[in-house]
Amino acid sequence: MPSERSSGSGYWPLGSGIANRSRVSIRGDSDAAAPSALRVPSESALPLGVRLQILTGVVPLAGYLCLHLLTQATALSGPSAHARWGSLPTSWHWVALEIALVHLPLVLHIALGVLRVMRPSPAPDAGGVSAFARQLTRASGLVLLLFLLVHVGEWRLRAWTGELAPSDVYPELCAQLSSTRWGGVPFAAFGYLLGVAAAAHHGAQGLYQAAFGLGLIGTARAGAWRRCCIALGLAWFGLGALIVIDLATGSVLIHLPGS
């Protein structure tokens, strides 16, 4: 009986590989039967549109959110520090860079998200993310979209056109966030808190799901990665809420030196 090595064609390694895969299937050691902790979604297994949506959402949102909160935290040091460090530059090359790296990717992220909602497809394994968590992520994304449209239109566009000077941002923010309506309810401050919460949740949940969608980590580390993302989301919301409360009331538990 001829052996695999002398099967006549000289392709015995290929035949051996097929036989090995057959034996693996018989033993039940195939990838389909591997423990979930060892299964990492391959980036190549995701459609290009899904990968683009992940990258255009995670990178600009998480990065810009960190930068924006850190610059706005200068409000805790008073109007002088905020006028100096709290506003991004408005030179044409900076504006072009901001549009190219932040706004256009987010527009693409939104467009791809709408297409995924209109044409649903089986979602990749995302470390045990439930259907409810996905729906909550979409809801926070919708709230964040509305908040960004108002926020960018009210502040960044006015800064780009020269209508709003850096020294005017702090007093206008204080006036807006401390305003009340209908029996003394600070709707503007509540709206900002809701927007910050939506940004923190959408950014943290997006980081969590992106790590699995791009195959960066396996489900064995899902718990640790989930805790990291929760901690980051809480930190984003805590800092943002602290800034909003300070601007709305002038009273917070923490003030930076010079305030």
Residue range 48-249 forms a domain whose CATH class is mainly alpha
Of 124-128, 140-144, 223-227, where does mean pLDDT reach its minimum? 124-128
Kindly write down the DSSP assignment for every residue of 14-58, as one continuous string: HHHHHHHHHHHHHHT-SGGGS-GGG----GGGS-HHHHHHHHHHH
User: What distance in Å separates the CA atoms of residue 209 and residue 225, rounded to the nearest whole number?
Assistant: 10
pLDDT tens readout for residues 130-160: 778 888 989 999 999 999 999 999 999 999 9
Structure tokens at 59: 């990178």
Query: Is residue 184's pLDDT more than 50?
Result: yes
pLDDT tens readout for residues 52-67: 888 898 888 888 899 9
pTM of the model: 0.76
